[in-house]
């Protein structure tokens, strides 16, 4: 029986009334932008971001001027991180093969992976300039072969986020807009005279952006229905409590509703980890301590279990976005666990590596969605389609006979007659309806 040394007291989903308010606001903004296009986009940008430039789209010369203001080390770091992301994404792409087989003489079936034609990448920036989201959404799309990537990011406190623009540019964005929030997502989905319509939207965002993607899903594709960031650590008695605490806090700073969970086989490790978290939040000079403390107090959990077998099972029930493994044999988790967005094995790696630099994608499933989906990857930007050709007359006639029988078993007479026609034409079968 699990023993909770600390249990969550919050609700990550938020109140129903609050969510209904978000949904109503988003619905009205989308409707207005559909009706009034660029004028509505400008109205909401002024209202929400106090931002109304002559053009939301940056020209090439403006991009170059902005990048020139970014410190050289930051530019080098952006390029190094993007090289990591690009290398891993290319390996993913290389794992996907087009193929064609002849399943019987004259019957050819094939599969192709075709890039989406136009993608919108949303790079959030309300609380922090999230350069990494440019790497994850744009680089991956370009490796997939997407020919046109439109990238939007909001101003921060009335200023253009220069490092974010650099990241978007080096990632391969075909056009960059300083535009945020629902107005950016709705404009990319619906299209306006100055913002081309896209087929797919990727990237994280606040509750309003997430709800906009939800409402627009179907009209455009989306990467994921995203919720608050999540971290879960599985630890045994060999784990270092200070490292555990540091990594839990590293994710709690994302927002006020981040679940940060420790499952451990050691009561001592659990208790010491709680003590270290409290020290880091109350007695260190962490600039985001207040926000992280809000999240930890409401959503932090520490659970003690009797064995690693129990730990693996409980961790799979959480189905967390990020799972770190601090055990004597961390790779055991690859065999024992199945529900996670990304797995980080051993104390030499951490979720922050995945968030920022290591190369795997950080757009991952939350709220237990890892039970049925993975995160953003090259394959999300591809449409896996099939094709078929029957080059042999006898094969076509035989398939026609089979189709006729199979369709009539389902009472689909029209389908059956398409089969009959091939059986008649190529095998000489007679049918009353064919004169």
| Tens digits of residue pLDDT in 100-111 | 999 999 999 999
- The predicted pLDDT at position 180 comes to 96
| Tens digits of residue pLDDT in 215-244 | 999 999 999 998 899 999 999 999 999 999
The percentage of the chain sitting over the pLDDT mark of 70, rounded to a whole number, equals: 99
| Tens digits of residue pLDDT in 135-172 | 999 999 999 999 999 999 999 999 999 999 999 999 99
Catalytic residue among 321, 347, 362, 398: 321
Does 415 or 1 have the greater pLDDT score?
415
Cβ-count burial 85-105 (b if 16+ within 10 Å, e if not): bbebbeebbeeeeeeeeeeee
Longest dimension (CA), the chain: 91
pLDDT over 60 (residue 13): no
Average pLDDT of the chain to the nearest whole number? 96
pLDDT over 90 (residue 211): yes
Determine whether 237 is an active site residue.
no
Lowest mean pLDDT among 16-20, 259-263, 345-349: 16-20
Determine whether 108 is an active site residue.
no
HEC states along the chain? Answer: CCEEEECCCCCCCCCHHHHHHHHHHHHHHHHHHHHHHHHHHHHHHHHHHCCCCCCCECCHHHHHHHHCCCCHHHHHHHHHHHHHHHHHHHHHHHCCCCEEEEEECCEEEEEEEEECCEEEEECCCCCCCCHHHHHHHHHHHHHHCCCEEEEEECCECCECCHHHHHHHHHHCCCEEEECCHHHHHHHHHHCCCCCCCCCEEECCCCHHHHHHHHHHECCEEECCCCCCCCEEEEECCCCCHHHHHHHHHHHHCCCCCCCEEEEECCHHHHHHHHHHHHHHHHCCCCCCHHHHHHHHHHHEEEEECCCHHHHHHHHHHHCCCEEEEECCCCCHHHHHCCCCCEEEECCCCCHHHHHHCCCCCCCCCCCCHHHCCCCCCHHHHEEEEEEEEECCHHHHHHHHHHHHHHHHHCCCHHHHHHHHHHHHHHHCCCCCCCC
Number of other CB atoms surrounding residue 47 within 10 Å = 13
- The predicted pLDDT at position 115 comes to 98
Catalytic residue among 322, 347, 362, 398: 322
pLDDT average, residue stretch 282-298 = 93
- The predicted pLDDT at position 435 comes to 85
């Amino acid at each position: 029986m699990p023993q909770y040394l600390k249990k969550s007291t919050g609700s990550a989903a938020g109140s129903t009334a609050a969510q209904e308010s978000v949904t109503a606001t988003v619905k009205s903004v989308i409707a207005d932008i559909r009706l009034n296009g660029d004028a509505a986009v400008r109205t909401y940008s002024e209202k929400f971001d106090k931002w109304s430039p002559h053009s939301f789209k940056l020209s090439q010369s403006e991009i170059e001027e902005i990048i020139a203001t970014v410190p050289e080390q930051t530019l080098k770091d952006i390029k190094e991180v993007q090289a990591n992301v690009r290398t891993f994404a290319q390996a993913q792409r290389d794992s996907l093969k087009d193929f064609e087989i002849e399943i019987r003489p004259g019957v050819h079936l094939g599969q192709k992976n075709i890039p989406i034609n136009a993608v919108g990448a949303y790079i959030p920036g309300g609380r922090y300039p999230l350069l990494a989201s440019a790497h994850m959404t744009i680089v991956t799309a370009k490796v997939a072969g997407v020919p046109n990537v439109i990238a939007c990011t909001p101003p921060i406190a009335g200023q253009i986020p220069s490092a974010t623009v650099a990241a978007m540019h080096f990632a391969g964005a075909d056009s960059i807009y300083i535009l945020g929030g629902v107005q950016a997502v709705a404009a990319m989905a619906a299209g306006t005279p100055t913002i081309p319509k896209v087929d797919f939207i990727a990237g994280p965002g606040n509750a309003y952006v997430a709800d906009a993607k939800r409402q627009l899903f179907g009209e455009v594709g989306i990467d994921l229905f995203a919720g608050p960031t999540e971290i879960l650590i599985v630890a045994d008695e060999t784990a270092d409590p200070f490292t555990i605490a540091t990594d839990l806090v590293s994710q709690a700073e994302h927002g006020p509703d981040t679940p940060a969970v420790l499952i451990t086989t050691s009561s001592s490790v659990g208790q010491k980890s709680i003590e270290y978290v409290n020290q880091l939040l109350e007695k260190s000079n962490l600039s985001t301590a207040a926000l992280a403390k809000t999240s930890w107090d409401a959503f932090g959990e520490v659970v003690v279990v009797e064995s690693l077998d129990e730990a693996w099972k409980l961790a799979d029930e959480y189905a967390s976005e990020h799972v770190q493994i601090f055990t004597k044999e961390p790779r055991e988790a690859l065999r024992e666990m199945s529900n996670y967005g990304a797995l980080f094995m051993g104390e030499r790696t951490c979720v922050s590596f995945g968030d920022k630099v290591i190369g795997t994608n950080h757009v991952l499933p939350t709220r237990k969605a890892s039970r049925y989906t993975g995160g953003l990857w090259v394959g999300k930007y591809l449409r896996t389609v099939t094709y078929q050709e029957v080059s042999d007359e006898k094969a076509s006639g035989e398939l026609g006979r089979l189709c006729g029988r199979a369709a009539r078993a389902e009472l689909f007479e029209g389908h059956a007659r398409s089969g009959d026609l091939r059986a008649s034409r190529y095998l000489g079968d007679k049918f009353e309806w064919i004169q």
